[in-house]
Amino acid sequence: MEKISRRKFLGNTALATAGFTILPSTVVSGLGHRMPSDRLNIAGIGVGGRGFGILRAIESENIVALCDVDWRYSQNCFDYFPDAKKYWDWRRMYDEMMDDIDAVVVATSDHTHAAAAAYAMTMGKHVYVEKPLTHSIYESRLLTRLAEEYKVATQMGNQGASGEGVKKICEWLWNDEIGEVTKVEAFTDRPIWPQGLATPGPQEVPDHLDWDLFLGPAPVRAYNEIYTPWNFRGWWDFGTGALGDMACHILHPVFKGLKLGYPVRAQGSSTLLLLDSAPQAEKVKMIFPSRPVSADSKIAFPELEVTWYDGGLRPEMPEGWPAGRDMNDAGGGILFHGTKDTLIAGCYGVRPWLLSGREPSLPQTLPRVELSHEMDWVRACKESPENRTEPASPFSEAGPFNEMVLMGVLAVRLQELHKELEWDGENMRFTNISDSETLRIVIEDGFQITDGHPTFDKTMTDPVNAMAFSEELVKHTYREGWDLPSMPR
């Protein structure tokens, strides 16, 4: 057995007196030997919002533990599952209950997904993690490799992956219904939460919230009600903005249908870019190299340009667009520009159609998900690794896909370098940022109107080393008391 240092794992909290042991998955899991009719013992982490919905979707299982840093926000979930043991800190829950838990659902703010999921996997527990999978590219790579090493069932919460639309899009693309695709455009109507805001002043922390636990691995800052429980998405330390939130739904059929890997170049632009808050609107272009022809496809995969829009921006309507038809379907849209036709679909890949008006009639070559996205993960948890049918968004796919999504975030945050960024995906590094380059970022806009006259007085950071800044975006430095398992080789 390998023991984790109490202080290293539990940090500077009252938990420092508790022990914590990691056991090999072959010892503590054993789930591959259960009868499929057995119910899983599941713990939820982050149960006040989306987490509550996920747990209700799998309530046929045993929900045995609930953990959240905000007990007022989580009260409805606590009341719904009254027999589940309640916790503030998932580290204490793991220490006390992991022998009685088979699987974990993580639906916290983005910046705390990775640690809770990673340590659960090292103990042989199956994990379901809300989108975006992680807050950084390094964290995505880590979860991908841990899932492979520990052979647990995994699923990212991009539920469209289990839907009919994504399957149909892939079948149409692979059957050469629109020809080769060299350009994709996608957009969302988000954010519907505040973005582009100056850093707010401090407020008193309410009794129902453990602010230090909410911060988790992020740098210490004063509490303000604008950060949580729902608006965390708009703040860089806690979320990934509209792009990180919605691209996991909208770009998934692009990643899967066009068999993408790592982008090689990226460039971002936006409305005013602030140090702390994601901008109100963004545009990102990513370039992907050509991919090998696959056995299940009739088309080649040439170099691809993917352009993303949010915050009210969207692609131009292509020639032949039906008058009066809204491009926004269920919160966004995708346009696959092929050499023979254009394929359009909504958010989650819903309701795909061809611009020509033709309706392909094809046999189904991809298996359909008969259960819900959440229950299909439960099914996979009950199957042995050797005989498991993976759910629709396992980390083997969701991890690399999430790296693509986060590359868009990095392109926006590094836009002040004023160049197309070149990316070495295998080694997780930019190759055309020199050691001498610097950038400055706006801390506060300072815009005012006095007697009808506008004044501009931006507060900027001192020059920041661009290479060091980019490396921090790729792999976050956790504050003392928080860490991650080591990256498997």
pLDDT tens, position by position, 203-214: 999 999 999 999
pLDDT score of 321: 98
Q: Is the predicted pLDDT of residue 3 greater than 60, yes or no?
A: no
- Average pLDDT on 106-120 reads 98
Contact criterion met (CB below 8 Å) for 51 and 105: yes
pLDDT score of 5: 38
Q: Is the predicted pLDDT of residue 311 greater than 70, yes or no?
A: yes
Residue 203: CB atoms within 10 Å: 12
Q: Is the predicted pLDDT of residue 179 greater than 70, yes or no?
A: yes
Residue 62 tokens read as 């045993």
Higher pLDDT, 33 or 487: 487
Q: Is the predicted pLDDT of residue 31 greater than 90, yes or no?
A: no
Strands (E), 392-437: 421-424, 429-430
CATH topology of domain 162-215+230-354: Dihydrodipicolinate Reductase; domain 2 (3.30.360)
For the chain, the domains span 2-159+372-396, 162-215+230-354
Q: Which residue matches tokens 């009719």?
A: 37
pLDDT score of 455: 87
pLDDT score of 376: 98
- pLDDT-based confidence at residue 457 (cuts at 50, 70, 90): confident
Helix (H, G, I), strand (E, B) or coil at 309: strand
Q: Which of 426, 394, 389, 409 is nearest to 117 (CA)?
A: 394
Higher pLDDT, 375 or 32: 375
Residue 107 tokens read as 């639906």
Q: Is the predicted pLDDT of residue 167 greater than 50, yes or no?
A: yes
pLDDT score of 456: 85
Determine which of 130-139, 198-207, 291-300, 355-364 has the lowest per-residue pLDDT on average: 291-300
pLDDT in tens, 52-82: 999 999 999 999 999 999 999 999 999 999 9
pLDDT score of 47: 98
Distance CA 101, CA 239 (A): 28
What's the pTM value of the predicted model, to 2 decimals? Answer: 0.92
Distance CA 312, CA 187 (A): 9
- pLDDT-based confidence at residue 98 (cuts at 50, 70, 90): very high
Q: What percent of the chain has pLDDT over 70?
A: 92
Q: Is the predicted pLDDT of residue 24 greater than 50, yes or no?
A: no
Distance CA 179, CA 197 (A): 43
What's the CATH number for 2-159+372-396?
3.40.50.720
Residue 83 tokens read as 């027999």
Q: Is the bond preceding residue 217 a cis peptide, omega within 30 degrees?
A: no
Query: What are phi and psi for residue 368, nearest 5 degrees?
Result: -90, 150
- Average pLDDT of the chain to the nearest whole number: 92
Distance CA 393, CA 391 (A): 6
Q: Is the predicted pLDDT of residue 354 greater than 60, yes or no?
A: yes
Q: Is the predicted pLDDT of residue 34 greater than 90, yes or no?
A: no
Q: How far is CA 359 from CA 178, 343, 347, 356, in A?
A: 11, 11, 20, 9
- Average pLDDT on 313-341 reads 98
Q: Is the predicted pLDDT of residue 15 greater than 70, yes or no?
A: no
Distance CA 127, CA 156 (A): 9
List residues bridging with 460 in a β-sheet: 442
Residue 6 tokens read as 């109490």
Q: Is the predicted pLDDT of residue 489 greater than 90, yes or no?
A: no
- Average pLDDT on 166-172 reads 98
Contact criterion met (CB below 8 Å) for 142 and 265: no
pLDDT score of 186: 98
Q: Is the predicted pLDDT of residue 218 greater than 70, yes or no?
A: yes
- pLDDT-based confidence at residue 25 (cuts at 50, 70, 90): very low
pLDDT score of 122: 98
Q: What percent of the chain has pLDDT over 90?
A: 88
pLDDT score of 33: 38
- pLDDT-based confidence at residue 14 (cuts at 50, 70, 90): very low
pLDDT score of 19: 36
pLDDT score of 83: 98
pLDDT score of 199: 94
pLDDT in tens, 405-449: 999 999 999 999 999 999 999 999 999 999 999 999 999 988 889
pLDDT score of 205: 98
pLDDT score of 48: 95
